[in-house]
A and B are shown apart, each in its own frame.
Chain A
C-alpha cells in the first residue's frame, strides 16, 4: 500500500488526495472584452503538489494541486485502452501523467494524476475540505517523492526535435 490515512485535523501535506475541491477555469474569452471572461467551476479530486517543507513552515497561503481522474473513466470514454494505462502510463513513461494504484480500504480507485492540469487553490479551502472528511488519503514518502520527481521532469525535460538517427 502506498497510502496513509491522515486524521481529518492533520495539516495539509504534499501527496494529499482530496475530493470535491473547487477549481475555476476560463472557458472562453472575447478579445474585445478581456476583463469579462466566461468562468466555470467544477469539483475535482486533486493531489497536492506544493512541497512539504513549504506547507510545514506555513510559508504558503496558496497551494498547487493537480487534477486526478479515475483511470476507468478515461477508458470508459474510449480515450485510451486499459492496456495503455496498465502499460506505459503505469510505468511512468508518459510525461505529464502519473498513475496511482487503487486502495480498497481507502476507497481510492486507480487514478491518473494529470500534471498538465495544475491549479492554485487557497490552503484554507483544502483545510476545510479535510476537516469535512474529503481527504481520501496521503501518498507515503518515497512514492510521494517519485510523483514529485515525475512532476519536475515533466516541466524540466528537454525535448529534441526528433530522436537521434540509428543505423
Chain B
C-alpha cells in the first residue's frame, strides 16, 4: 500500500497538522490549506484595492548590461505619400 492509498482512508482537514507515532518514529503530516482556484472566487473588498489608476510596473530585476557602441543617426522609414486628397495608410 502506498502512502497516498493509506491517507485516502483518513479524514483529513485542510490546514491542519497531524502527528502520530509509527514503529517508534514520530510522523508529522501537514495538510496544505485549501486554495481558491481563481481570484474571481474571492469577494471583492474595495478597501483592499491598492492600485491607482496609474501604476508603473517595477523594472525587471534581472538582465544583462551592455555598453552600446555609437551608431548612425536614426532616419525614418519613408511612408507612402498620398496624392490628391487621399490619406496615407
Interface residues of A (CB under 8 A from B): 23-25, 27, 35-37, 39-44, 54, 59-62, 67, 69, 73-74, 77, 79-80, 84, 87-89, 93-97, 112, 114, 116-117, 159
Cα distance, A114 to B76, chains bound together (Å): 6
Contact across chains for B88 and A40 when beta carbons are under 8 A apart: no
Contact across chains for B70 and A61 when beta carbons are under 8 A apart: no
With contacts A44-B73, A54-B54, A77-B75 taken as known, whether A94 is within 8 angstroms of B68 at the C-beta atoms is: no
Is B77 among interface residues, defined by CB-CB distance under 8 A? yes
What's the nearest-Cβ distance from chain A to residue B51, in Å?
A: 13
With contacts A24-B68, A39-B66, A59-B54 taken as known, whether A89 is within 8 angstroms of B81 at the C-beta atoms is: yes
With contacts A94-B82, A112-B76 taken as known, whether A41 is within 8 angstroms of B54 at the C-beta atoms is: no
**Nearest 6 pairs of A and B residues by beta carbon:** A40-B71, A41-B68, A114-B76, A39-B68, A94-B88, A84-B81
Residues in chain A near residue B88, CB distance under 8 A: 88, 93-95
What's the nearest-Cβ distance from chain A to residue B68, in Å?
A: 4
Cα distance, A36 to B83, chains bound together (Å): 44
Cα distance, A131 to B64, chains bound together (Å): 30
Residues in chain A near residue B25, CB distance under 8 A: none
Residues in chain B near residue A97, CB distance under 8 A: 76, 79
Residues in chain A near residue B69, CB distance under 8 A: 39-41
Cα distance, A24 to B68, chains bound together (Å): 7
